[in-house]
Amino acid sequence: MITEEKLKEFKETLNNGVLYNAMDDELIAYQHSLVQKLNEFNRTDDTPEGLAEREEMLKDIMGTYGEGLYIIPPVYANWGLKNVHVGKNVFFNFGCTFVDDADITIGDNTLFGPNVSVNTAEHPLSPELRRNGLQYNKPVHIGTNVWIGAGAVILAGVTIGDNSIIGAGSVVTKDIPENCVALGVPARVDRHITADDDLYYDGRKEIPETIRNTYFPKKQ
């Protein structure tokens, strides 16, 4: 079992981009214990009792989270979500993967489609260093009210700005600014989100007046 002192030493390393031995026996054993808890979470039933059980489990396994977090299992994380920190009303669809060696921070009201992958780990180019298990990490920051489409991949060190959308299947290798739609491999800004998007959806379909009046009330 890893000591508190050694775990603290590792945690000081995880977010600062320095090389460390990711295959340390004690560290790997500790990660296995975290993953085992997540495996138990994934085996819970979709019943009122199972949902209540998940809520209790999250208090133990997840780094930090706000009210309204909803996760559809299975979810995968090599640190068992211990380094994932989310705000309020966040949704993870099934099959999401978090390589959470470093911190992953996610803002309020953010949506993840199925099979999204968020990665913080990097490996050196040197074959010798990789062969010996050396690794370094870069935290990922995802803003508030972001929508990440199915199968998107977010790479280490990336920041995604508030209100932005990442298209399905995109690979995000660099920072994405707020209020825009980014698509492709690698993901690039396709267009900005504007006031017109409060009037139209799905191309140029008009948002019904009843919905506009509910969510975009006219200023007095």
The answer to whether residue 197 is domain-embedded is no
> In the structure, what pLDDT confidence band is assigned to residue 51 with cuts at 50, 70 and 90?
very high
How many domains does the chain divide into?
A: 1
The answer to whether residue 169 is domain-embedded is yes
**Residues 161/143, Cβ–Cβ less than 8 Å:** yes
| Percent above pLDDT 70 for the chain | 98
The answer to whether residue 103 is domain-embedded is yes
Report residue 66 CA to chain centroid gap.
14
Instruction: Give the active site residue among 85, 123, 141, 192.
Output: 123
Give all strands of the β-sheet with 153-154 in edge-to-edge order: 75-77, 96-99, 117-119, 153-154, 171-172
The answer to whether residue 215 is domain-embedded is no
Instruction: Check if 85 is active-site.
Output: no
Residue 147 pLDDT exceeds 70? yes
Please give the pLDDT value at position 98.
Answer: 98
What amino acid is encoded at 195 in this protein? A
Range of the domain at 184: 4-190
Please give the pLDDT value at position 28.
Answer: 93
- From the DSSP assignment, how many helices (H) and strands (E) are in the chain? 5, 21
The answer to whether residue 198 is domain-embedded is no
Longest Cα–Cα distance of the chain, Å, equals 67
CATH of the domain at 124: 2.160.10.10
The answer to whether residue 13 is domain-embedded is yes
Please give the pLDDT value at position 42.
Answer: 98
**Per residue in 83-126, pLDDT tens?**
999 999 999 999 999 999 999 999 999 999 999 999 999 999 99
The answer to whether residue 34 is domain-embedded is yes
Please give the pLDDT value at position 203.
Answer: 86
**Per residue in 158-178, pLDDT tens?**
999 999 999 999 999 999 999
3-state secondary structure of 144: coil
* Model confidence, pTM: 0.93
**Residues 109/72, Cβ–Cβ less than 8 Å:** no
**Residues 2/9, Cβ–Cβ less than 8 Å:** no
